[in-house]
């Protein structure tokens, strides 16, 4: 039987509710990497069961506390509970897309499962998730109210290196559909699960795109870091006067244009390939103004070491965005960097508004949608920040 002994410090840390134990707080190991191990404190008392990693800084990710040992029936119940959350949120339209299982946030450590129509895409971040992938997918398929035609494993995230794992990509079952299109609340968009970011799409911004579009009617819109253009397409569908999408990726802009055409708004949208930081400065210097500016950049701080540089980046990026806003306009600014906390991000926006010489009011501060839950005892699951800021 796999057993891991932890220190008194780890026991006190676990008593706070956090489900991880770090490598420095492991005292003795009688387990193989990827095992579901019994975890005991210095007195021999059982603390629970956790997936063990020998390579990662996070040595233990807890699955249960106390005596109960997780078996297939246990994991079936946990997966069904996660899917029920999505069903209650109205996210199980067979034509739609959502995150069915959000890894540690759904108490299924290291395992992510996204759905695009009848295609499932997995991402495994740990050896334990790799080992349990097929069983978890089988349980999820059985719990869904419709048939799944393809399962694709896109375990290619950089975090796998922390576990000593190679990137792993394969079709697990079925065949990848050609021209995969998702329907989402009146919006149709294409998904490229092979070449697209993450598992093929940014599912976490769904609700924020819908909310941002409510400020688009009758105004000119700038969508910076537009990726596949869904903020912009949503804005156009909501009645924007014009929409400009800017991104560095040629392929992303091609998908954005195709999405605009698919939704009948191509005539009001333009697409320009550029470095957004440089592009926003040039537009400000030309005196351009927009009623709605959206900035949704990639993570500026993927580690704590990058936080200081991220601060400069967020302040400068948003300063330029504030400069481009017409009086009464709305800035929608996002950060997906967990290491930049919500209060710090608001501070960066405050500094940016001051540097731009604008009075600004925070009207809403949002996170990800219901399919990206936040586990209160695991702050790391609260990563997405999306601020809605009105200017004078």
Q: Catalytic residue positions?
A: 336
Please report, in angstroms and rounded to a whole number, the separation of the first and last CA atoms in the chain.
Answer: 65
- The answer to whether 122 and 141 have CB atoms below 8 angstroms apart is no
> How many C-beta atoms surround the C-beta of residue 12 within 10 A?
11
Distance (Å, whole) CA 175 – CA 336: 32
Distance (Å, whole) CA 83 – CA 77: 10
Distance (Å, whole) CA 332 – CA 234: 14
CA angle 146, 82, 90 (to 5 degrees): 60
DSSP for 86-98 reads HHHTT---TT-EE
Pairing of strands 168-174, 150-155: antiparallel
Proportion of the chain in helix, strand, coil states, percent, rounded to 5: 35, 30, 35
DSSP for 170-181 reads EEEEE-PPTT-E
> How many C-beta atoms surround the C-beta of residue 22 within 10 A?
15
The residues, any chain, with a CB within 8 Å of residue 8's CB and separated by 6 or more, are 41, 42
Which residue, among 1, 161, 113, 128, has the nearest Cα to 60 in the 3D structure?
A: 128
């Amino acid at each position: 039987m796999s057993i891991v002994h932890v220190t008194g410090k780890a026991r006190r840390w676990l008593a706070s509710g956090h489900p991880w134990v770090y490598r420095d707080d492991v005292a003795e190991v009688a387990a193989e990497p990827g095992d579901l191990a019994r975890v005991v404190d210095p007195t021999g008392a059982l603390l629970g069961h956790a997936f063990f990693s020998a390579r990662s800084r996070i040595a233990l990710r807890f699955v249960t506390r106390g005596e109960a040992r997780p078996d297939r029936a246990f994991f079936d119940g946990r997966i069904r509970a996660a899917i029920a959350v999505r069903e209650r949120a109205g996210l199980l339209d067979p034509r739609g897309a959502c995150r069915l299982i959000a890894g540690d946030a759904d108490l299924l450590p290291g395992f992510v499962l996204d759905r695009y129509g009848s295609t499932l895409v997995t991402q495994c971040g740990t050896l334990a998730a790799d080992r349990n992938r097929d069983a978890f997918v089988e349980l999820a398929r059985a719990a869904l109210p419709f048939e799944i035609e393809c399962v694709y494993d896109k375990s290619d995230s950089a975090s796998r290196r922390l576990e000593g794992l190679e990137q792993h990509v394969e079709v697990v079952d079925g065949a990848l559909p050609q021209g995969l299109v998702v329907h989402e609340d009146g919006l149709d968009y294409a998904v490229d699960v092979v070449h697209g970011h993450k598992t093929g799409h940014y599912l976490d911004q769904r609700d924020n795109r819908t909310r941002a579009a409510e400020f688009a009617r009758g105004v000119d819109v700038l969508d910076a870091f537009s990726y596949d253009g869904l903020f912009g397409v949503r804005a156009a569908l909501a009645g924007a006067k014009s929409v400009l999408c800017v991104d560095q990726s040629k392929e992303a802009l091609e998908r954005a244009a195709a999405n605009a055409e698919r939704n009948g708004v191509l005539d009001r949208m333009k697409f320009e390939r550029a470095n957004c930081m440089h592009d926003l400065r040039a537009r400000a210097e030309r005196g351009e103004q927009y009623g709605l500016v959206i900035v949704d950049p990639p993570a500026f701080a993927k580690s704590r070491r990058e936080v200081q540089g991220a601060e400069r980046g967020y302040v400068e990026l948003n300063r330029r965005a504030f400069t481009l806003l017409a009086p009464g306009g709305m800035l929608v600014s996002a950060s997906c960097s967990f290491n930049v906390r919500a209060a710090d991000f608001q501070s960066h926006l405050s500094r940016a508004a001051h540097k731009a010489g604008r009075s600004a009011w925070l009207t809403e501060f949002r996170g990800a949608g219901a399919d990206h839950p936040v586990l209160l005892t695991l702050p790391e699951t609260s990563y997405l920040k999306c601020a809605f800021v009105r200017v004078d």
